[in-house]
Structure 1
């Protein structure tokens, strides 16, 4: 979320998990804020939810 209070820390943190062998898929949605996906009527929120759902479906199942 571009306007999230921890945006900068999240960007700094993002390379860490892949370097430790944890697959990640960073996404950015310009103009959004932490929790903005709760505004279900907004197009960007619908896009966020769809992208997050697709990423979860691509994630390997934990055995």
Structure 2
């Protein structure tokens, strides 16, 4: 995802947290997880999420 801010805009609850750091595509990656609020949970059909974000650029990789 080249423009993760389009998705991050919806991640406004306080249950978001960094759960680790990994390597992906030879890049340093920060792993985040959290819970969607009720609206996003219904819209996406998921109550939780995990994201792998390029630590240097903020680009969402997975």
Smaller-chain TM-score bracket:
under 0.3
Judging by fraction of residues, say which structure has more helix.
Answer: 1
TM-score by length of 1: 0.27
TM-score by length of 2: 0.27
Judging by fraction of residues, say which structure has more strand.
Answer: 2
